[in-house]
């Protein structure tokens, strides 16, 4: 048994759940955290892979147990957390890593595939996170790391996946606000690594060198789970691409702010024609300028 609420010793003696840990990023996180002293629940719906990773950790002399529950089901997600409590006496850390993706243009998308991605990538984070929070709060705190993606800014052909990852960022900030006084920190990581998810996307594979291995992101997750090293850090979205580490800016209200007692459609049209049209935001991960903004800027370029 470990003390999930104990502090002051890094990850030594802490109990951590890592979802989607049967391969790729999740496996790298689970192995790294175990070597750092944490007792780990290795969760993955691919049972042979979950058991393989748990066995790999145990064979190296560290505590690990496999879970094959699906995060998409609220009862099964709760069972992952309860397994951690039963095995190790509590839960100190949660890494919400389980995820699905696929590529499709919007007019070719399939509702069943879209639903499956939402159920794992978003509802899975919610189900497992709520179960962990209900255990962490009475114990005095803990740390949750939600795995998001740079795609949360918008990316071609993976709109549903990107939407779930954007929602995970918003959820992270909301939970951070709600849980700060409970001693529970919540942060999100946007990793870029050469994994099986990248292999299935020709676009992603072109922009992700093979040396960007998942283990290069693991130290950031370790840092965020360590209450000593990352004390006071919550509500942050942090991107790690291997060589690059930076904070991702959160949405904000952009100046100028126009005031009017009442806005009718003609007044809104005038506002965009005369003022706001020059302040439109580039959109998506590639920062594409809206066509109206391109027309607005064109005279300035030719002047």
For the chain, the structural domain boundaries read 15-247, 265-302
Residue located via tokens 């529970």:
184
What SS3 state is found at 34? helix
**pTM for the complete prediction?**
0.91
The closest of 291, 192, 230, 217 to 32, measured between CA atoms, is: 217
Report the distance separating Cα 16 and Cα 54, nearest Å: 13
Q: What CATH superfamily is the domain 15-247? A: NAD(P)-binding Rossmann-like Domain (3.40.50.720)
pLDDT score at 137: 98
- Identify the three-state secondary structure at position 18: strand
How confident is the model at residue 199, as a pLDDT? 44
- Active site positions, annotated: 161
Instruction: Kindly report the number of other CB atoms within 10 A of residue 220's CB atom.
Output: 19
Six token digits for residue 101: 């993706």
In tens digits, what is the pLDDT along the chain, a chain of 303 residues? 664 444 446 899 999 999 999 999 999 999 999 999 999 999 999 999 999 999 999 999 999 999 999 999 999 999 999 999 999 999 999 999 999 999 999 999 999 999 999 999 999 999 999 999 999 999 999 999 999 999 999 999 999 999 999 999 999 999 999 999 999 999 999 998 654 555 455 555 455 556 778 999 999 999 999 999 999 999 999 999 988 999 999 999 999 999 999 999 999 999 999 999 999 999 998 898 888 777 666 665 555
């Amino acid at each position: 048994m470990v003390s999930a609420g104990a502090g002051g010793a890094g990850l030594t003696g802490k109990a951590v759940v890592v979802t989607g840990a049967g391969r790729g990023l999740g496996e790298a996180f689970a192995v790294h955290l175990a070597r750092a002293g944490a007792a780990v629940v290795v969760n993955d719906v691919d049972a042979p892979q979950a058991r393989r990773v748990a066995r790999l950790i145990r064979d190296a002399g560290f505590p690990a147990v496999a879970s094959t529950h699906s995060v998409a089901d609220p009862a099964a997600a709760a069972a992952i957390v309860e397994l951690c409590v039963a095995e190790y006496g509590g839960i100190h850390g949660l890494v919400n890593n389980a995820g699905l993706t696929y590529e499709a243009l919007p007019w070719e998308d399939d509702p069943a595939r879209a639903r499956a991605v939402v159920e794992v990538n978003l509802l899975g984070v919610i189900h497992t996170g709520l179960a962990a929070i209900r255990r962490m709060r009475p114990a005095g705190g803990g740390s949750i790391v939600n795995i998001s993606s740079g795609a949360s800014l918008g990316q071609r052909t993976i709109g549903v996946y990107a939407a779930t990852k954007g929602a995970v960022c918003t959820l992270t900030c909301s939970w951070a606000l709600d849980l700060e006084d409970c001693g529970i920190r919540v942060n999100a990581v946007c990793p870029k690594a050469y994994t099986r998810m990248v292999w299935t996307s020709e676009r992603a594979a072109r922009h992700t060198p093979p040396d960007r291995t998942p283990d290069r992101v693991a130290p950031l997750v370790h840092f965020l789970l360590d209450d000593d090293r990352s004390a006071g850090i919550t509500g942050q979205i942090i991107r790690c691409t291997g060589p690059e580490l930076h904070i991702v800016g959160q949405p904000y209200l952009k100046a100028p702010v126009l005031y009017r007692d009442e806005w009718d459609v003609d007044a809104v049209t005038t506002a965009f024609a005369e003022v706001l049209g020059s302040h439109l935001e580039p959109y998506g991960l590639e920062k594409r300028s809206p066509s109206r903004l391109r027309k607005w800027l064109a005279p300035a370029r030719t002047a």
